[in-house]
Amino acid sequence: MNEEGKNGYFSTDSLILDVFDLLRALRKGIWLILLAGIIGGLLANLGTRLFISPTYRTSFTAYVNNRTNLEGTTSVTSSDLSAAKSLANTYARILTSRSMINLAAEKAGMQDMENMLGNAVAVSVSPDTEILTVSVTMTDPDLATQFAQLLTEVAPEYISKIVEGSSMQIIDEPVRPTGKYAPNYRRNTGIGVIAGMALICMIIFVLEVMDDRVKDEDDLRRRYGLVVIGTIPNLLTADKHGSGYGYGYGTRKDK
């Protein structure tokens, strides 16, 4: 169905045909798109290896209790558990505080690394539990393990002084990491492949949209709503294929 708009002729089929034109343009440039994906992946992988230093992560887990002494008790009430869960978030904040990091750095003789150490420590609270996971991420696996071990030694005593009537017990000690935590080469390479392909697709899309040349009779009808009565053949092509047309002066030779 065709509709006459304010700005002239408009065909409801034009949108579908334009989409088909874009798909055809993308199909013609499929090898260029694949090549761009390969190049993008290689560049992303190379850039990751050259400019991003690998990091290593170690962690330990701890149990939060709202009572310092459990001796002589036979049960733990729901209020105790609720209070412990609330304390877990408080403990997480204290463990990443500047004073906590500075205390551990002083004991480790790392006072000159206090700013870096503050960004290296992260704490997560297991949902609906009283368990904390403290992670230390550094470029040196031995240094990360050493600092995490110091945190397990100084944190329980330090926190018990700040939050009276509570305690923290270490469940799992930190162990030296054996593999890299970051960067993820496979993920970054995949992102590079997708980015390269998307860039070329965008370029093809823009070039196709900006191309205002009339390519064939359907394009003429779709753009301007004109009815094509007849076409003039390409005389050079027609003569080459022996259609009987030529420029004269015997350009077509009889066999």
Q: What is the pLDDT of residue 101?
A: 86
| Residue 78: CATH number of its domain | 3.30.70.1130
CA count, 13 A, side-chain hemisphere, 226: 11
Q: What average pLDDT does range 64-88 have in this prediction?
A: 59
Residue 239's domain comprises: 225-255
Any domain includes 180 = no
CB atoms within 10 A of CB 242: 10
Q: How far is the C-alpha of 31 from the C-alpha of 210, rounded, in Å?
A: 22
Any domain includes 3 = no
Mean of pLDDT over the chain: 77
pLDDT confidence bin for 30, thresholds 50/70/90: very high
pLDDT digits (tens, 9 = 90+) for 219-234: 666 666 666 666 666 6
Q: How many domains does the chain have?
A: 3
Any domain includes 6 = no
In this predicted structure, the answer to whether residue 172 has a pLDDT above a threshold of 90 is yes
Q: How far is the C-alpha of 100 from the C-alpha of 162, rounded, in Å?
A: 11
pLDDT confidence bin for 202, thresholds 50/70/90: very high
Token readout for 219 is: 């394009």
pTM as predicted: 0.62
SS3 55: strand
